[in-house]
Amino acid sequence: MTSSLTIAFLATCRMALCIIIMCLISAEPAPAQSSDAGLQASLGTLSTERMLADIRTLSAPTFNGRLAGSDDDVQSAKWVAQELAATTLQLPPIMNGSLMFPFVSGKHGTPLGVMASIIPTSTIQPDPELRIGSVDQMTISSLGVDYLPVFDSPAAHIQSRISFVGYGIVDPARGIDDYAGVDVANRIVLFLRGKPDHYPKPVSHADKVRLARDHGALAYLTATGPILNPYEARRGVTGKPSAFYGQLPPDHAIPGAWISTALAEQILATPSDADRLRHLQEQLNKNGLSRATQTDHYAALRWNTVTQEGLLTNVIGMLPGTGPDTIIIGAHRDHFGRPAGLLFPGADDNASGTAVMLEVARALAKSDLRPQRTILFASFSGEERDLLGSRLYVARPVVPLASTKAMINIDHAGVGNGRLTIGVTGLEKTVAQQAGEPAGLASKLDLYGFFPGGDHVPFKEAGVPTVTVVSGGIHPHYHQPTDTADTISPDILMTAARYVLSLAWQLATEP
Ligand SMILES: [Zn+2]
């Protein structure tokens, strides 16, 4: 097997600069092998140790939580590119170290995608402060336990009284106004996350922040209510504050923090009703009447935010096929970085998916398989920021989307109950089910349709069939600083890798 690397670099597109690093893995022509024996041999080469080592590397403090658009993002992209390149026998130019990769045309190497884009990235500076209490006695809340600033919040130097505004929804056509009865001008509003079941439309966090600002609020607090709906309960939603971007343009945003349910309960409690927040949520869930109320509590929010421009970096490796079509195996690499001085290692989210993608690339590059379909291995950035990296790919695909026959997305593949949750769009579910058989996993798959959220979404919207692979069950460290490498299950990781390899093999060798 010989190999070569193609690195494509940089044409500028409007606002943002993104690099696609192309690693072109070229195999010597070998007899087409779609046999079960070939797949079994490949499955046998998968290594749990290598995947765990990759997760430890990516989630180590070296990469600072891989914030999209930061230097750490670029460094982690470079590391992934090196790992992809190392699946070949020939050392590619990227091993020479410089980030200014020369453009190298590979054996199959017509110039492949070239993109450049700069994105602005806001970072809350270390040592933020949230204090809550009565006007003359305020207590400092604990960062990461009682609250997390919303990560793209503007700087905050605000103190005011807290007004509760239910779910923070206003919809005159349906007779709902969660602000009715209170004046929140120059106040800090507190609204619950999500929406009541009786309200039929989706409501975004950004919508709620806009409403708060339009009503004159200076800042907001948001919390999960004490009553979970069945979906939230199944997903293992807790009362903990979570890493989060508000996704508002800077000139629309106001400072905000996600606070724990316990702290929200404390803010609403009165001497006669310690459980007042639960009672208010019960009423809100019954009908659309306003439960807005002034509380006796005040909040002070203090932090600085620095906004910088940086590179959003996708890395793409390629195993050329014999036919005209392509499949993509993708996993996002980015996470939340070190906002407010707090490291978010992102081991399950999504060093785990990245490790699975790399290990499947190693197995396929090593095998004698010359796939019918080209396989692209995509390490996306910007997933945590509204799917910036995968949207960029879909806007400027490396191969035409019309000949892209499937996109396999791996996200959160390292913890849970040992089963795999598979979301399928644009393909028969039987295809995804059958792929589990050679891997001995047919009884461990739970198949669903579309999952909202994730790098498969832009592909689905562009008409590409998608299969999303998530480890089943509850992910207790989801978007928490405790998402560390020591919480990853080796067996679950191997289950995900065996399934993805088997599925990719099936999809890539289809006539
Ligand atoms: Zn993720």
pLDDT (tens digit per residue) in 494-510: 999 999 999 999 999 87
- The Cα–Cα gap between 54 and 353 comes to 10
> How many angstroms separate the alpha carbon of residue 409 from the centre of ligand 1?
10
DSSP H/E element including 357: helix 352-366
- In the three-class reduction of DSSP (H, G, I as helix; E, B as strand; rest coil), residue 223 is classed as strand
> How many angstroms separate the alpha carbon of residue 387 from the centre of ligand 1?
10
Q: Which residues of 333-486 form beta strands (DSSP E)?
A: 374-380, 404-410, 420-425, 445-448, 466-471
Fold of 126-303: Glucose Oxidase; domain 1 (3.50.30)
- Indicate the Cα dihedral angle 401, 406, 411, 414, nearest 10°: -150
Mean pLDDT of the chain: 87
> How many angstroms separate the alpha carbon of residue 485 from the centre of ligand 1?
15
Q: CATH 3.40.630.10 region(s) of the chain?
A: 18-121+308-509
> How many angstroms separate the alpha carbon of residue 383 from the centre of ligand 1?
7
- In the three-class reduction of DSSP (H, G, I as helix; E, B as strand; rest coil), residue 282 is classed as helix
Q: What is the pLDDT of residues 282-301, one digit of tens each?
A: 999 999 999 999 999 999 99
Higher pLDDT among residues 16 and 353, named by residue: 353
123: closest CA among 384, 340, 329, 285? Answer: 340
- The Cα–Cα gap between 214 and 185 comes to 9
> How many angstroms separate the alpha carbon of residue 239 from the centre of ligand 1?
20
Say what the pLDDT of residue 207 is.
Answer: 95
Range in 39-48, 78-87, 420-429, 492-501 with the lowest mean pLDDT = 78-87
Say what the pLDDT of residue 112 is.
Answer: 28
State which residues have CB under 5 angstroms from ligand 1, the bound ion.
349-350, 411
pLDDT band for position 263 (50/70/90)?
very high
State the pTM of this model.
Answer: 0.88
DSSP H/E element including 309: strand 305-319
The residue-averaged pLDDT of 83-93 equals 56
> How many angstroms separate the alpha carbon of residue 471 from the centre of ligand 1?
12
- The Cα–Cα gap between 54 and 250 comes to 35
> How many angstroms separate the alpha carbon of residue 242 from the centre of ligand 1?
13
> How many angstroms separate the alpha carbon of residue 450 from the centre of ligand 1?
16
DSSP 8-state secondary structure symbol assigned to residue 109? -
Q: What is the pLDDT of residues 297-322, one digit of tens each?
A: 999 999 999 999 888 888 888 888 88
Q: What is the pLDDT of residues 153-165, one digit of tens each?
A: 999 999 999 999 9
DSSP 8-state secondary structure symbol assigned to residue 94? G
Q: Which two tokens stand for residue 402?
A: 């019309």
Percent of the chain with pLDDT over 90: 70
For 18-121+308-509, give the CATH class. alpha beta
Q: CATH 3.50.30.30 region(s) of the chain?
A: 126-303
Query: For the chain, how far is it from start to end, CA to CA, in angstroms?
Result: 24
